[in-house]
Amino acid sequence: MKDDLKDKLRELVNQGVRLQIAMHKEQGYLSEGQEEIIKDFKLSFSEGYQAWYSESKELVRQVLPNRLDDFSSLYKSTDKRKGATYENYTVFDYLLNLTRRIGLDTVVSPDAAIPKFTQQLLILKSAYELIDSRLIDLTQVLQADLFDSEIEAARHLNKNGFTRAAGAMAGVVIESHLQQVCRDHNIKITKKNPGINDLAQLLKDSSIIDTPQWRGIQQMADIRNLCDHKKLSEPTKDQITELIDGTAKIIKTVF
């Protein structure tokens, strides 16, 4: 996954450099050597920017979320303004070819967007440079989205009377999440097929979770066991609801 993200970020950075040069060319600022870089680039800045922005924004959101607002505001500011100036001019204004004049004097013209797009490109480059250190956080984000979907699926099964299947699904989510937490904290798992209680004990011994959390996870494991072993008593709908709610809490509070 990391390599795929780095490849995509690298591709978007390279695309951004070509868009930057295309913008320079459109504004008459093409420097020596830049023409060669974009000789095979057939799109104008306006034609290529929107797709670049959409893909880049999503990756900035995932890898560098603290810069997302900065990245977005350089495209189009949400602040009210009385008129466009060089300070508040955005890439969106450039796409509209916005020029503001007072009488015969030009207050601001599209070349004001050049430093704004350059800042966007620098933010994207920062995301590429930080991808290794952000990988764990990103893995957690993507995994959390997947777990949320599985929890909703478990709720649907339980609602329709498939209590064992719903409980088993919730149990898999807890187990997978606790395994990921162990990996994130470099906790060695020696047991070949560890269960929820085994993983919870490892996390408790490493002071990642406290005693109340450990007991809560044990309680969830007990309900999950009712679902996995038919020789035990049939789990009730209320017990499975408790397990699903507990699962949702665990993935949000144990990390």
Mean pLDDT of 8-25: 90
Q: What is the DSSP letter of 40?
A: T
Task: Tell me the pLDDT tens digit for each residue of 156-181.
Answer: 888 888 888 788 888 888 988 899 88
* Cβ pair 200, 218 in contact under 8 A: yes
The per-residue pLDDT of the chain, averaged, comes to: 86
Q: Is the pLDDT of residue 61 over 70?
A: yes
**Beta bridge partners of residue 101, listed in sequence order:** 106
Q: Is the pLDDT of residue 140 over 80?
A: no
Sign of CA dihedral 238, 240, 245, 249: positive
Report CA-CA distances (Å) from 177 to 37, 62, 161, 184.
Answer: 46, 19, 26, 10
Q: Is the pLDDT of residue 10 over 70?
A: yes
Amino acid at 218: Q
Alpha-carbon Rg for the chain, nearest whole angstrom, is 26
Report CA-CA distances (Å) from 15 to 45, 48, 126, 143, 148.
Answer: 11, 9, 15, 29, 34
* pLDDT score of 229: 65
The token pair at 250 is 């665990």
Instruction: Give the lowest-confidence range in 24-28, 35-39, 63-67.
Output: 35-39
- pLDDT confidence band for 65 (50 / 70 / 90): confident
Report CA-CA distances (Å) from 221 to 2, 108, 193, 195.
Answer: 32, 65, 15, 8
With tokens 């005693």, the residue in question is 211
pTM exceeding 0.85: no
User: Among 77, 79, 80, 83, which residue's Cα sits nearest to residue 102?
Assistant: 83
Task: Tell me the pLDDT tens digit for each residue of 227-248.
Answer: 876 655 778 999 999 999 999 9
Task: Tell me the pLDDT tens digit for each residue of 188-230.
Answer: 999 888 999 999 999 999 999 999 999 999 999 999 888 876 6
Instruction: Give the lowest-confidence range in 84-93, 112-121, 202-211, 219-228.
Output: 219-228
